Chains A and B, each alone.
Chain A
Amino acid sequence: DAGVIQSPRHEVTEMGQEVTLRCKPISGHNSLFWYRQTMMRGLELLIYFNNNVPIDDSGMPEDRFSAKMPNASFSTLKIQPSEPRDSAVYFCASRAQVGTEAFFGQGTRLTVV
């Protein structure tokens, strides 16, 4: 398996633009996590899906952020409109089942100017 695949690896966008980050989890995994990593806040959990259903989105910063998982092999994280303070590395991770480890993608480095 190729592991968790995220795209793009780098994204530079202007303030106010819409940004969409993509994630393909490992086949057969039924949990998917989106995290944001910054120097100030560390690794924050944004949202967690189980069997394509959002279970906990309490970490989503505000209404500008939305996440979807239309099927077991694809998820998106959208920011609209983007702001400079959204600049961070966004990670997607998937897990086969509870009690097993999560596998991380390489991350998307987002810069909003």
Chain B
Amino acid sequence: AQSVTQLDSQVPVFEEAPVELRCNYSSSVSVYLFWYVQYPNQGLQLLLKYLSGSTLVESINGFEAEFNKSQTSFHLRKPSVHISDTAEYFCAVSEKGGSEKLVFGKGTKLTVNP
């Protein structure tokens, strides 16, 4: 069965600094990978996804993630963060074939300080 590990539960950074949120997954088959963002008292919203093709995927608000099959990773990066990026970020995996359920990591709380 698939699983997701987000290595950092909390990441504090200063505004305009770069950030990387780490995500590693475990699966015996090919996968689809997702990053979701959750703002306080809200549901989760899709940030970006990897389905196939180019291993580097981007969101409209400057985040990017790179699928690395050999390292089974899908780390999320942003070169310069804003106060408004403060939120919790979740990495998720869904196996191609099999049960195709969507499994999440425990989340990383990103806090951007002025």
Contact = CB atoms under 8 A, between A and B. Distances in A.
A and B interact? yes
Dominant SS at the B interface?
Answer: strand
Interface residues of A, number: 24
Contacts of A55: 99-101
A45 B104 contact: yes
Dominant SS at the A interface?
Answer: strand
Interface residues of B, number: 22
Interface in B7-52: 32, 34, 36, 42-46, 49, 51
Contacts of B104: 35, 42-43, 45
A101 B103 contact: no
A33 B44 CA distance: 13
B107 A43 contact: yes
Interface in B68-107: 90, 94, 96, 99-107
A45 B102 contact: yes
Contacts of A103: 46
B102 A106 contact: no
A22 to B, nearest CB: 15
A25 interface: no
A42 B88 CA distance: 11
Contacts of A4: 43
Contacts of B46: 101-103
B49 to A, nearest CB: 6
Contact of A106 (B42, B49, B94, B100): B42
Interface of B: 32, 34, 36, 42-46, 49, 51, 90, 94, 96, 99-107
